[in-house]
Amino acid sequence: MARNKKQLPLLEKVTITDVAAEGKAIARVNEKVVFVPFVAPGDVVDIQLTRKKNSYAEGKAVYFHEYSPERAVPFCEHFGVCGGCKWQHLPYEAQLKYKHKQVIDNLTRIGKIEMEEILPILGSERTTFYRNKLEFTFSNKKWLTEEEVKSGATFDCMNGVGFHIPGMFDKVLDIHKCWLQNDISNRIRLYIKEYCLSHEGYPFFDLRNQEGFIRTLMIRTASTGDLMVVVVFYHEDKERREALLSHVAEQFPEITSLLYVINEKCNDTITDQEVLVFRGKDHIIEEMEGLQFKVGPKSFYQTNSEQAYNLYKVAREFAGLTGNEMVYDLYTGTGTIANFVSRQAKKVIGIEYVPEAIEDAKVNSALNKIDNTLFYAGDMKDILTADFINQHGRPDVIITDPPRAGMHDDVINTILFAEPERIVYVSCNPATQARDLSLLSVKYDVKKVRPVDMFPHTHHVENVVLLEKKK
C-alpha cells in the first residue's frame, strides 16, 4: 500500500528579501532559506512549500499580502507558465542590479577573486524583440493553464505551436504572441498554424507516440534584413509539403531563405539531418563593423546580435591589441570573435569542438578576405597542448569563451604553460568562471571585470574578465 504523501506546510506573511541564482528569489524562515519563483524582494506572500530539505526549502507564492515597490507589470500573457522571461516582474534596472550582484558574488565567494576594477554592467538597449533565432514545436498535446483547467471547458482541439513546458517533454504551450523576436516571427508562426489547422492532412506531431506530419519551425532574422524559415516535417508528403511552403513563400516575400527538413528520428534535433532549400539561399548574412558572417540553419551565432557586438567590443578592448599580437581564440564557434579581432592582431588561431562550426569560421574569413586566421577542430583539451603551442608559437593574448561548464583542467594547465601576457575570459556562467579564475590566479591577476546583459528578463548574464600575468 502506497504511503500518503505528507502535506507540506503553508508559510504565511513571509517577506521576500533577495534574489538568488537561477532566477529565483529568497525568503528566510526560521533560519532556513526558501527559494520562490516569480516574486520580488519586498513582496509579502503566503508560500506553499513544494519541497523541504534540511538546509533549504522550495515553494510557490499562493497569496500576495503586499507587493514590492520594486516590481513591474509583466507584459507577456504567458508569463509564469512559459519557461522563458521569468524576470518580467522586475523593472529592467533592477534586473541589471541583481545580475551585476550575481557576478560579483560568484567571483568573490566561489573564486575568492581580488578584482582591481569592476565596471558597471552593460545593459541591452533593446529589452524586447531582441533575439535573432527562435524554435517552435508543433504538438497535438498543448498545455492547459490552471485557468483553462478550472474553467471546466472542453477543448476539442489540443493542437498547439510554441515552447515546451519545463519538465514536460511532450507538452507545448500554445504561444499567441512572443516578445522575444521581431514580430514577423509571430506572423509566420500563426500563419503556418492556421494553414495546417484549416487544411486536411497536416496533423501536429505526437512526440510520445511518434506520429503526425508537421514537427518544428525555426525562424532566424539578421540585421541585414535577411530572414530564414526552416520547417521540419516528420515524413515526406511532397504534395502537402510543397503546398504549405508555396503559400508561406507567397504570403511572406521577405523570406530570403525558405528551407525544410524531413526528420524521421525520435528527437527534434536537426544537427544530423539534411537541410533542403525550397526557395532562396541556404543561408543568411549577418553584419558587424562591415564584416559579414554567413549563418546557416545549423550555425551558432549569438542570439542577441546587437548586444553581441557590444560584448565583442568589450572583449577586444580588454585584449589591448596593437597589431603585433599572436592571439588564440578558444571555443571560437563560427569564428565570430576571431574574425572580429583579426584586423587588430598579427595572427589569430581559433579552436572549436564542432567541425561544422570551424568550416563556417573558415568561410567567414574568406568572405571578408581575412588571411591571418587559422582554425582547428577538435576537443579543446586534446588540441591545445604544449606541442601545439610549441608548433604554432606562444600566444600574446588568449581569448576564451567556453560553454557553461567552463574550461577543463587540462586546458587551464596548458594556458598556464603558454603564459600569455593577457587573458580575456568571456563567460555565460559566472560560477564556473569563478572556479577557473581561481585556478589561473597562481600566475594571473584580475584587472577588469565587466558584466554584459545579453538576455533581458532572464537571470542569465555574460561576464568579461581581463587577466594579466603577474609581474
Mean pLDDT over 193-197 rounds to: 98
In this predicted model, what pLDDT tens digit does every residue of 33-48 receive, in sequence order?
999 999 999 999 999 9
Q: What CA–CA distance (Å, rounded) separates 424 from 272?
A: 33
Confidence of residue 21 (pLDDT cuts 50, 70, 90): confident
Q: What CA–CA distance (Å, rounded) separates 471 from 469?
A: 6
Q: What pLDDT does residue 3 have?
A: 55
* Annotated binding-site positions for S-adenosyl-L-methionine: 302, 331, 352, 401
Confidence of residue 232 (pLDDT cuts 50, 70, 90): very high
What percentage of the chain reaches a pLDDT higher than 70? 99
3-state DSSP call for residue 20?
coil
Contact, 347 vs 370, CB < 8 A?
Answer: no
Q: What CATH number was assigned to the domain covering residues 10-71?
A: 2.40.50.140
In this predicted model, what pLDDT tens digit does every residue of 80-132 receive, in sequence order?
888 889 999 999 999 999 999 999 999 999 889 999 999 999 999 999 999 99
Locus of grid cell 558574488: 105
* pLDDT, averaged across the chain: 94
Q: In this structure, which amino acid lies at residue 380?
A: M
Contact, 197 vs 179, CB < 8 A?
Answer: no
Q: What pLDDT does residue 170 have?
A: 79
Mean pLDDT over 461-465 rounds to: 97
Q: What CA–CA distance (Å, rounded) separates 363 from 365?
A: 5
* Annotated binding-site positions: 302, 331, 352, 401
In this predicted model, what pLDDT tens digit does every residue of 166-193 receive, in sequence order?
877 778 999 999 999 999 999 999 999 9
Same-fold call for 10-71 versus 93-127+304-469: no
Q: What CA–CA distance (Å, rounded) separates 406 from 400?
A: 10
Confidence of residue 31 (pLDDT cuts 50, 70, 90): confident
Residues 6 or more apart in contact with residue 154 via CB below 8 angstroms: none
Instruction: Quote helix, strand, coil % in the chain, to nearest 5.
Output: 25, 30, 45
Q: Long-range contacts for 107-110 (Cβ within 8 Å, ≥24 apart)?
A: 107/430, 107/433, 107/434, 107/437, 107/446, 107/449, 107/465, 109/434, 110/431, 110/434, 110/435, 110/438
3-state DSSP call for residue 323?
coil
Contact, 316 vs 344, CB < 8 A?
Answer: yes
Q: Where are the beta strands (DSSP E) in 263-319?
A: 276-280, 284-288, 291-295
Q: What CA–CA distance (Å, rounded) separates 83 from 188?
A: 22
Q: In this structure, which amino acid lies at residue 454?
A: M
Q: In this structure, which amino acid lies at residue 208?
A: R
Residues 6 or more apart in contact with residue 309 via CB below 8 angstroms: 288, 289
Confidence of residue 150 (pLDDT cuts 50, 70, 90): confident
Positions annotated as catalytic residues are: 428
Q: What CATH number was assigned to the domain covering residues 133-288?
A: 2.40.50.1070
Confidence of residue 5 (pLDDT cuts 50, 70, 90): low
Q: What pLDDT does residue 1 have?
A: 43
Residues 6 or more apart in contact with residue 124 via CB below 8 angstroms: 130, 304, 306, 307, 453, 454, 455, 456
Q: What pLDDT does residue 209 have?
A: 93
Looking at domain 93-127+304-469, which of 3.40.50.2300, 3.40.50.150, 3.40.640.10, 3.40.50.10140 is its CATH number? 3.40.50.150
Q: What CA–CA distance (Å, rounded) separates 189 from 227?
A: 14
In this predicted model, what pLDDT tens digit does every residue of 348-405 receive, in sequence order?
999 999 898 999 999 999 999 999 999 999 999 999 999 999 999 999 999 999 999 9
Q: What pLDDT does residue 353 have?
A: 92
Work out the angle at residue 122's Cα, subtended by the Cα atoms of residues 117 and 126, and round it to the nearest 5 degrees. 180
Q: Where are the domains of the chain?
A: 10-71, 93-127+304-469, 133-288
In this predicted model, what pLDDT tens digit does every residue of 294-343 receive, in sequence order?
999 998 889 999 999 999 999 999 999 999 999 999 999 999 999 999 99
Residues 6 or more apart in contact with residue 37 via CB below 8 angstroms: 23, 24, 25, 60, 86
